[in-house]
Structure 1
Amino acid sequence: MTSRRKWLANSLATVVGTALLAPADLLALAEAEINLANQLGTKEDNEAYWELVKSQFVLEKGLRYFNNGSLGTCPEYVFQATEHFRRTLDGFPSRYMWGAWDDQKEAVREKAAEMFGVSTETIALIHNTTEGMNLIASSLKLAPGEEILLSNHEHSSARIPWKYWQEEKGVVLKTVDLPLLPESKEEIVARFQEAITPKTRVISLVHVTNTNGMRLPVKEISEMAHEHGILVAVDGAQSMGMFQINLTELGCDFFTSSSHKWLFSPKGMGIFYATEAAQKLLKPLIVCRGYDDPSIRRFENYNTRNLPELLGLGAALDFRNLIGQEKIERRIYTLKTYLREQLADVDWFIFKTPASNDLSAGIQTVELVGREADEANQDLTDSYQIDCRHMMSHSLNGLRISLAIFNTKADVDYLVAALKTVQAG
């Protein structure tokens, strides 16, 4: 218990001491953790604690939300913090839009950089993954005949920017077909390795697919690509916040993500990473005064922007830090294992997501044998207030189930019971 209290004290000193706000909600969550520890022992990950975490979110009553892969929800703390910033801005608009919040904006950058284990000079605060992909694709000076490799599981917002900005110049977009259920990381790396030619200049790949939740081995692909002098750009829309990411260790040149999914920030915020060397290859999508700033801040120079949402991202990072990155990752994998165990021995459910923790995490896609996924999804919505998403591409015909920290084992039990009833019906 002494070590647990020490951990909590250090957590609060780190989080609240540097927080943009230090409201009662954050402190209450921390105090409740002490109370839970007293009541339930020193076991860190118990359901009572995660019920407490769930209570911090403002989902509609009765809704079981398993669609975080499409869009996340804000915890009450982030919602209230963002409203506070919005009222402050409207109280004195010109002061806070231009200058008064400069230190706070840099505090958000510092929190994001700390999460990724990188320098603040490699982090830009943008709007979403799509903007980051457009920034990369519009900037690179590629010649006709040179090649970009993309997997067949790339989101349209990661593929279309390359098509729009590069294909008309004669740059070739090559698709790398991935196995739906790979048995190892090496199997995926080999597919990219086999597709490389002397003309390959970029590998653009998704970190976690939005289709079946497959986790790609970015570190190994980056190492292999750099041996050939190839740049690596990563779509991290479904990975940032789901599990721990150290971008220095991943070794990619670019990483772009939306924070309104697994980080639970206000909508319309994202984080963009580029190594200091790779930044020299980029040009801003939007230019105004300050376009010639040599730092990475030139990529977020929109003049007027929604600063309350940007600072709300900082509040979301504070909330995440209080719970703890390691604990969040462990919880995601606990829920994944629990779901798979509940359906493991039922012949009429087939997982279309790799089982290995190296190859998947909080997104699991399940086929209901003999049922059309879109119809089954509608039944879950209409009869059980369960929101997930049906996936029909790649011959999946499955329900994509996104497991987040506001989901409890009781929620998973409810989902499994509903799936069995829907399938039987």
Structure 2
Amino acid sequence: MKLDRRQFLQGMGGGAAGALIAGSTARAATASPATLPAFSTSTSADFWRAVRAHFPLQDDPVYLNCGGLGPSSQRVLDAVFSTMLTLQQHSETGHSLIQPAREIVAPFVGAEPRELCFTRNATEGNALIAAGLRLRDGDEVIFESHAHPGGSFPWFNQTKERGVTVKLFEPSPVSAEENLARIRALVTPRTKVIQVSHITCTDGLVMPVRAIAEFAAARGIWFHADGAQAVGMVPVNLSELGCDSYAFCGHKWLGGPHESGAVFIRHARLEAVAVTGIGSHSGDLPFLPGEIRYVDGAARHEYGTRNAGLIVALAEAVRLQKEIGVERIAAYGRDLATYLHAEFSKISGLVVLTSARPELRASMVTIAHPRASAGDFFTYLLKTHGLRCRPVTEQKLNAVRISTHVFNSPAECERVVAGVRAAMRDL
């Protein structure tokens, strides 16, 4: 059925109403509590303090759980609020704002705009791929045992719905080659999908995504990566990584709003993913009955009225990351985490679960107390030392994870070390 109202509103995107909405959003999005100074190694502390000033995050407790939920900058929050308010003032959907946001977010991850579908989070992107691939009874899917529920549940759901077989491998902190070998050992002629977390949520292990992509492509196996812990923490270039699909969220390391994210589907592989959620923006159907003509891109998986404010704000989060510098962000977070890893390794009895190999870790460190439970360790650090970490109980790891990002400081990391040393004494 032809939706004249939709066409009318889309047409307004280039006219008076579209300009009014887009203009109001752009003005709010550029408002910022502080201008970032030019970066210099001699004044780097001043630079990072200026970055910290963009975040309304409270200082107490020290927030060290970006791997679970990252705070948004004031710029991002302003983009959400002002876009929603402007749209409400004019009672418009803001659909014309979505494509411009796509053209900002897609190149940030090395994708073409037509390869990116906006989602509510990485989980939705993972589920879209799991449901959309045309798998049959007995087909095999391989992924690591440390996958986040948002990465594992969609596939286990397919075991119930279509009889898919899930095969797990234990991620190795020893080497990239060992992880590839563990995947290789599970592959059979029935293997249809390999998935890995680009960076595991449990211990921050960096997977050899490009090598796995090459391995899978050579065997005609679909390769999907869950990038929830990667995008915003480290540079990601999907055109180079070689994944068939890749899901990420905005609400962790990117500093985007809650319920923001995207899934990448390589354009050459677009038709392999069935459209399982569909609506008026997925394609065109001029007259009923008839045949739907899908949008020629991953946006065919977007449907219905969206909260355009969240998508505009995700693009604003990308702008801020680019202004800070993606490589600079990765180096800063890694340096803080490397300091923690080194200091933790000196504490007798403390178990450091994160790999000792620098190339296998980034901005997260996971540690286990030899006597205390994950819950007790977490609670002690929070209540006694004002350190907000994250307990890790997946796969019975019984540990605590510490994430370091742009709003953290060397002084805060020193507090973490002192708190952990005290925990080893007190618990």
TM range (shorter): 0.7 to 0.9
CA contact (8 A) 2:137 2:162 kept: yes
CA contact (8 A) 2:132 2:274 kept: yes
* Equivalence map 1:162-311=2 (5 Å): 162-179=155-172, 181-182=173-174, 184-291=175-282, 292-301=294-303, 303-311=304-312
* Equivalence map 1:33-48=2 (5 Å): 33-34=37-38, 42-43=40-41, 46-48=44-46
Please state whether the residue corresponding to 1:280 is helix, strand or coil. helix
Please state whether the residue corresponding to 2:223 is helix, strand or coil. strand
- Distance in 1 (CA, whole Å) between partners of 2:43 and 2:358 is 18
CA deviations over 1:212-265 (Å, ceiling 9, x no partner): 111111100111111111010111111111000111111110000111100001
Confirm or deny that 1:316 pairs with 2:317.
Answer: yes
Q: Which residue of 2 aligns with 1:72?
A: 70
Q: CA deviation at 1:166?
A: 4.4
Confirm or deny that 1:132 pairs with 2:138.
Answer: no
Distance 1:293 1:194, change over 3 A: same
Q: CA deviation at 1:334?
A: 1.0
Q: Which residue of 1 aligns with 2:81?
A: 83
Q: CA deviation at 1:375?
A: 0.5
Letter of the aligned partner of 2:49 in structure 1? E
CA contact (8 A) 1:211 1:391 kept: yes
- Distance in 2 (CA, whole Å) between partners of 1:114 and 1:336 is 28
- Distance in 1 (CA, whole Å) between partners of 2:394 and 2:166 is 20
Please state whether the residue corresponding to 1:309 is helix, strand or coil. helix
CA contact (8 A) 2:330 2:363 kept: no
Stretch deviating more after TM superposition (59-68 or 279-288): 279-288
Q: CA deviation at 1:44?
A: 6.4
Letter of the aligned partner of 2:30 in structure 1? P
Letter of the aligned partner of 2:239 in structure 1? T
Please state whether the residue corresponding to 1:288 is helix, strand or coil. coil
Distance 1:367 1:140, change over 3 A: same
Distance 1:364 1:338, change over 3 A: same
- Distance in 2 (CA, whole Å) between partners of 1:134 and 1:313 is 21
TM-score calculated relative to the size of structure 1: 0.87
Percent sequence identity is 29
Stretch deviating more after TM superposition (75-84 or 162-171): 162-171
- Distance in 2 (CA, whole Å) between partners of 1:295 and 1:178 is 33
CA contact (8 A) 1:219 1:252 kept: yes
Letter of the aligned partner of 2:89 in structure 1? G
- Distance in 2 (CA, whole Å) between partners of 1:356 and 1:185 is 10
Confirm or deny that 1:354 pairs with 2:355.
Answer: yes
CA contact (8 A) 1:167 1:173 kept: no
- Distance in 2 (CA, whole Å) between partners of 1:295 and 1:246 is 19
- Distance in 1 (CA, whole Å) between partners of 2:140 and 2:276 is 22
- Distance in 1 (CA, whole Å) between partners of 2:94 and 2:376 is 50
CA contact (8 A) 2:279 2:302 kept: no
CA contact (8 A) 2:337 2:403 kept: no
- Distance in 2 (CA, whole Å) between partners of 1:47 and 1:393 is 36
- Distance in 2 (CA, whole Å) between partners of 1:216 and 1:383 is 35
Distance 1:332 1:44, change over 3 A: farther
Q: CA deviation at 1:76?
A: 1.2
Q: Which residue of 1 aligns with 2:388?
A: 387
- Distance in 2 (CA, whole Å) between partners of 1:172 and 1:221 is 20
Q: Which residue of 2 aligns with 1:408?
A: 409
Confirm or deny that 1:141 pairs with 2:143.
Answer: no
CA contact (8 A) 2:65 2:389 kept: yes
Number of residue equivalences = 390
TM-score calculated relative to the size of structure 2: 0.87
Distance 1:228 1:64, change over 3 A: same
Letter of the aligned partner of 1:412 in structure 2? C
- Distance in 1 (CA, whole Å) between partners of 2:127 and 2:144 is 17
Could you list the runs of 5+ residues in structure 1 that have no partner in the other structure? 1-18
- Distance in 2 (CA, whole Å) between partners of 1:118 and 1:46 is 31
Letter of the aligned partner of 1:178 in structure 2? P
Letter of the aligned partner of 1:29 in structure 2? T
CA contact (8 A) 1:333 1:357 kept: no
- Distance in 2 (CA, whole Å) between partners of 1:109 and 1:318 is 12
Please state whether the residue corresponding to 2:152 is helix, strand or coil. helix
CA deviations over 1:20-48 (Å, ceiling 9, x no partner): 4463427x423xx14xx6xxxx4167223
Please state whether the residue corresponding to 1:51 is helix, strand or coil. helix
Could you list the runs of 5+ residues in structure 2 that have no partner in the other structure? 1-24, 283-293
Q: CA deviation at 1:167?
A: 4.1
- Distance in 2 (CA, whole Å) between partners of 1:251 and 1:415 is 38
Q: CA deviation at 1:118?
A: 2.0
Q: CA deviation at 1:123?
A: 1.0
Stretch deviating more after TM superposition (222-231 or 162-171): 162-171
- Distance in 2 (CA, whole Å) between partners of 1:139 and 1:298 is 12
Q: Which residue of 1 aligns with 2:58?
A: 60
CA deviations over 1:126-174 (Å, ceiling 9, x no partner): 1111111111111111222221112111111211111223444222111
Letter of the aligned partner of 1:294 in structure 2? D
Stretch deviating more after TM superposition (394-403 or 303-312): 394-403
- Distance in 2 (CA, whole Å) between partners of 1:113 and 1:394 is 34
CA contact (8 A) 1:142 1:166 kept: no
- Distance in 2 (CA, whole Å) between partners of 1:111 and 1:65 is 28
CA contact (8 A) 2:98 2:312 kept: yes
CA contact (8 A) 2:364 2:403 kept: yes
Please state whether the residue corresponding to 2:346 is helix, strand or coil. coil
Distance 1:141 1:285, change over 3 A: closer
Q: CA deviation at 1:395?
A: 4.2
CA contact (8 A) 2:206 2:359 kept: yes
Letter of the aligned partner of 2:267 in structure 1? E
Confirm or deny that 1:121 pairs with 2:123.
Answer: no
Distance 1:143 1:54, change over 3 A: same
- Distance in 2 (CA, whole Å) between partners of 1:77 and 1:290 is 29
